[in-house]
């Protein structure tokens, strides 16, 4: 397992003393970078239609926000200051970004979201705001002034294209240099303004609202419940008010719907599927040629396997979940598949037939690749 970038803090200490409690500044949290992108590298991602991106500008006292993909000419016209380009899920496209993201998997992966990169020249900012989730803000190149506040007034500027705090009252301030990182709990007000051109790598976590979960669970139930019976009214009588909805009609429907039931096992299955489901813009490249179980087993024995950067693999005591679905795998294979979910790769080895069958299913969908 890789070492979390928490300075001299252990994950247990960080979670006990800071997680969802108070901010933490870690100087030189990350000192080694295998990939140091330029703005041109980020712009290339922002021009792709399979990548979510935004451009935030501050002009004449007003905020503007556009969504990508962007034409190259649009990004080349940007001025020398007061703008920010943001690119989501860079971990899906750059191996080092994926590796860095998973240095934070001391938090369950069911909570881990993505690594977003924002580039800003001097003056670049997205305004004072708050996030509804935990976030680590890693400075890469340049420098940025961060001001933060534990204020409870989270009212927003009406009509703004971004969620800008109407009354921001900073309480603490730091300048982050290359490699420095700031952790902020949910709903902690903050504002970052670039001093020198550079990037902020944001490691964000999933925190769905109860409303989001409720809607998603009702969608799930539609496919996982089976109610017997059909509406009947053998004792129906003539009515003088044909437009009225009869009370006994409502009563019978209420009785039918009262038979909807769910338990913890059903909710666990929903959670595994929902939190592993890829976002709408995510697609997987499938292998060009088919391969037999024996051929695949020999290849795995020589090369091992690794999950695609876009793949989310989770598990509980009874099931393995991959990208929004359960993996059809024999229970005897679960221990090995759980290892794959935890460390996102398996070393070269001769695995039994049940494991190979499950891995091959994932390989043919583009969810994993040969090579350790």
181 three-class SS:
strand
269 touches 223 (CB < 8 A)? no
Mean pLDDT of the chain: 96
- Hey, what are 227's tokens? 């109610």
What the block records as the tokens of 28 is 């030189």
Q: What's the confidence (pLDDT) of residue 138? A: 98
Q: Rounded CA gap, 32 and 275, in Å? A: 31
Instruction: Give tens-digit pLDDT for 288-308.
Output: 878 899 999 999 999 999 999
- For residue 311, name the pLDDT band (cuts at 50, 70, 90): very high
The closest of 287, 289, 368 to 322, measured between CA atoms, is 368
Q: How confident is the model at residue 372 (pLDDT cuts 50, 70, 90)?
A: confident
Closest CA to 56 of 43, 47, 65: 65
Residues of the chain with CATH 2.60.120.650: 11-205
User: Cβ atoms within 10 A of the Cβ of 144, count?
Assistant: 25
Q: Report how far residue 297's alpha carbon sits from residue 292's, in angstroms, rounded to the nearest whole number.
A: 8
pLDDT in tens, 184-215: 999 999 999 999 999 999 999 999 999 999 99
Six-digit token pair at 126? 């997205």
Centroid of chain to Cα 263: 27
Query: What is the largest distance, in Å, between two alpha-carbon atoms of the chain?
Result: 81
> What phi and psi values does residue 153 have, to the nearest 5 degrees?
-80, 105
- Secondary structure string (H, E, C) spanning 76-143: HCCCCCCEEEEECCHHHCCHHHHHHHHHHCCCCCCCEEEEEEEEECCCCCCCCECCCCCEEEEEECCE
Give alpha helix (H) positions in 225-333.
247-257, 264-276, 293-303
Structure token digits, residue 20: 């969802």
pLDDT at 2 over 80: no
Confidence (pLDDT) at 1: 59
* CA 43/CA 253 separation, integer angstroms: 55
**pLDDT tens digits for 13-43?**
999 999 999 999 999 999 999 999 999 999 9
Please indicate whether residue 3 or residue 350 has the higher confidence score (pLDDT).
350
Concatenated DSSP letters for 280-308?
A: TT---PPPSS---HHHHHHHHHHH-EEE-
Architecture per CATH, domain 11-205, reads as: Sandwich (2.60)
**Other beta carbons within 10 Å of 104:** 21
Percent of residues in the chain assigned helix, strand, coil, to nearest 5? 30, 25, 45
pLDDT 10s digits, 50-80:
999 999 999 888 999 999 999 999 999 999 9
Tokens 């179980």 correspond to 293
For residue 58, the model assigns a pLDDT of 94
Per-residue pLDDT tens digits for 313-371:
999 999 999 999 999 999 999 999 999 999 999 999 999 999 999 999 999 999 999 99
Nearest-angstrom CA–CA distance, 311 and 308: 5
Return the minimum-mean-pLDDT range out of 1-10, 201-210, 246-255, 358-367. 1-10
Q: Which pTM does this prediction carry?
A: 0.92
Which of 114, 126, 15 is CA-nearest to residue 66? 126
């Amino acid at each position: 397992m890789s070492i979390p970038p928490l300075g001299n803090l252990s994950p247990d200490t960080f979670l006990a003393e800071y997680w969802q409690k108070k901010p933490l500044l870690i100087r030189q949290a990350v000192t080694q970078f295998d990939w140091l992108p330029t703005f041109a590298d980020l712009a290339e991602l922002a021009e792709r239609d399979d990548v979510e991106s935004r451009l935030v500008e501050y002009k004449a006292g007003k905020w503007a926000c556009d969504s990508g993909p962007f034409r190259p000419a649009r990004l080349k016209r940007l001025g020398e200051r007061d703008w920010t380009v943001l690119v989501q899920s860079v971990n899906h496209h750059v191996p080092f970004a994926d590796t860095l993201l998973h240095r934070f998997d001391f938090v369950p992966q069911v909570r881990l979201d993505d690594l977003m990169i924002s580039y800003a020249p001097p003056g670049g900012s997205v305004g004072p705001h708050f996030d509804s989730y935990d976030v680590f803000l890693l400075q890469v190149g340049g420098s940025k002034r961060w001001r933060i506040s534990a204020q409870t007034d989270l009212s927003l500027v009406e009509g703004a294209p971004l969620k800008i705090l109407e009354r921001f009252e900073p309480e603490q301030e730091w300048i982050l240099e290359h490699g420095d990182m700031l952790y902020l709990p949910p709903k902690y007000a903050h504002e970052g303004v670039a001093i020198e051109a550079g990037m902020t790598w944001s490691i964000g976590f999933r925190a769905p609202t109860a409303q989001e979960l409720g809607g998603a669970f009702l969608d799930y139930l539609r496919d996982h419940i089976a109610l017997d019976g059909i509406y009947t009214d053998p004792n129906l009588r003539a009515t003088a008010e044909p437009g009225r909805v009869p009370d006994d009609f409502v009563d019978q429907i209420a009785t039918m719907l009262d038979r909807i039931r769910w338990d913890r096992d059903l909710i666990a299955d929903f959670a595994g599927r929902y939190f592993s489901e890829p976002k709408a813009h995510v697609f997987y490249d499938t292998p060009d040629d088919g391969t037999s179980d024996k051929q695949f087993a020999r290849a795995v024995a020589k090369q091992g396997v690794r999950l695609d950067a876009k793949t989310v693999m989770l598990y509980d005591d009874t099931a393995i979940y991959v990208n929004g679905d359960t993996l059809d795998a024999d229970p005897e294979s679960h221990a090995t598949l759980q290892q794959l979910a935890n460390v996102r790769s398996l070393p070269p080895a001769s695995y039994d037939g049940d494991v190979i069958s499950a891995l091959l299913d994932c390989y043919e969908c583009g969810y994993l690749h040969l090579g350790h």
